[in-house]
């Protein structure tokens, strides 16, 4: 919040004080981000000094374990970075930069749903880890069930936003903007697939079972760009082809994630039944 408010104020001041200078904007916004995070970091460790890192806490015997797990998470993050940050580049190269604006506007509008979902589910990753360590498998199952039922709310929100998107964006920009129907439909599907996948990725991440995610994320990243380019050029749906490529890429885990989760839940049930550790 501190970074966002500071950035908004910076843009306002730059528009009032100088000509439009993207280099200066980038430089100052990066500086603001570093300063804000620095302030938050100092404030955090001042309040919780027992959590401050120190060389005396380093245990070299745990390095291999930490690096191994961290390395796999790193691969997953890089793969999804490729998937989620190449859309505008593909649209620019295939269709031209003038088509990026509408795509970005619609993407940001629908991102409100994923943002709200992220706020609600932010603590689940660590909560799954805690429940897994305590062997509270009943809580894990109940939570997953609630999240699955919550998908009806997500779908309803997507439908409402799809119907009101034109009016919201026209009000936002102060003029009527024609939105491609395929883009609205596919952006809504993308939000549903993304949140659905997140339900199971948080669980699997929380219990440390991420090998399948590593392989699937690499495959998804590898196919994302070529299929997005193909859909954009040959399906006749314009920039919507890019988000369709993202949907196909994410669908690899959207299908396998629930299956993997079900398999682990079956194992948990057997462990509870047999009283095994």
Domain positions in the chain are: 1-58, 60-274
| Confidence (pLDDT) at 18 | 67
Convert the pLDDT of each residue in 70-95 to its tens digit.
888 888 889 888 888 888 888 888 88
**Alpha-carbon distance 30 to 36, whole Å?**
10
| Confidence (pLDDT) at 150 | 93
**Alpha-carbon distance 247 to 185, whole Å?**
12
Confidence of residue 130 (pLDDT cuts 50, 70, 90): very high
Higher pLDDT, 235 or 228: 228
Higher pLDDT, 172 or 47: 47
| Confidence (pLDDT) at 56 | 84
**Alpha-carbon distance 232 to 90, whole Å?**
9
Q: How many CB atoms sit inside 10 A of residue 139's CB?
A: 15
In this prediction, residues 15-41 reach a mean pLDDT of 82
Confidence of residue 64 (pLDDT cuts 50, 70, 90): confident
Global pTM reads 0.81
Convert the pLDDT of each residue in 132-165 to its tens digit.
988 888 899 999 999 999 999 999 999 999 888 8
Residue 173 has pLDDT above 60, yes or no: yes
Residue 199 has pLDDT above 90, yes or no: yes
Average pLDDT in the chain: 87
| Confidence (pLDDT) at 85 | 84
**Alpha-carbon distance 87 to 113, whole Å?**
19
In this prediction, residues 210-227 reach a mean pLDDT of 90
**Alpha-carbon distance 172 to 112, whole Å?**
14
In this prediction, residues 208-213 reach a mean pLDDT of 87
Confidence of residue 168 (pLDDT cuts 50, 70, 90): confident
In this prediction, residues 123-130 reach a mean pLDDT of 91
Confidence of residue 277 (pLDDT cuts 50, 70, 90): very low
Residue 265 has pLDDT above 80, yes or no: yes
**Alpha-carbon distance 258 to 216, whole Å?**
14
In this prediction, residues 225-239 reach a mean pLDDT of 86
Q: Looking at the chain, how many residues does it have?
A: 277
């Amino acid at each position: 919040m501190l970074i966002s408010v500071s950035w908004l104020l910076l843009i306002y001041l730059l528009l009032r004080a100088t000509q439009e200078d993207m280099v200066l904007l980038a430089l100052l916004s990066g500086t603001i981000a570093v300063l804000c995070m620095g302030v938050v970091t100092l404030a955090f460790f001042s309040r919780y000094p027992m959590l401050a890192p120190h060389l005396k806490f380093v245990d070299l015997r745990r390095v291999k374990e930490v690096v191994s797990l961290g390395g796999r998470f790193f691969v997953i993050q890089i793969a999804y970075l490729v998937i989620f940050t190449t859309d505008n580049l593909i649209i620019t190269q295939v269709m031209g930069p003038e088509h990026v604006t509408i795509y970005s506007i619609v993407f940001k509008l629908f991102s409100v749903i994923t943002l709200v979902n992220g706020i609600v589910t932010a603590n689940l990753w660590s909560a799954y880890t805690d429940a897994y360590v305590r062997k509270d498998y009943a809580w894990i199952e109940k939570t997953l069930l609630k999240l699955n039922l919550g998908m009806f709310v997500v779908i309803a929100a997507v439908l409402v936003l799809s119907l009101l998107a034109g009016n919201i964006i026209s009000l936002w920009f102060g003029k009527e903007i024609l939105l491609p129907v395929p883009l609205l439909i596919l952006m809504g599907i993308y939000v549903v697939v993304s949140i659905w996948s997140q339900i199971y990725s948080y669980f699997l991440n929380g219990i440390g079972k991420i090998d399948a995610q590593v392989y699937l994320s690499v495959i998804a990243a590898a196919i994302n760009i070529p299929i997005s380019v193909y859909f954009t050029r040959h399906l006749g749906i314009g920039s919507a082809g890019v988000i369709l490529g993202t949907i196909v890429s994410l669908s690899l885990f959207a299908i396998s994630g629930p299956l993997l989760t079900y398999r682990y839940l079956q194992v948990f049930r057997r462990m509870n039944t047999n009283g095994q550790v």
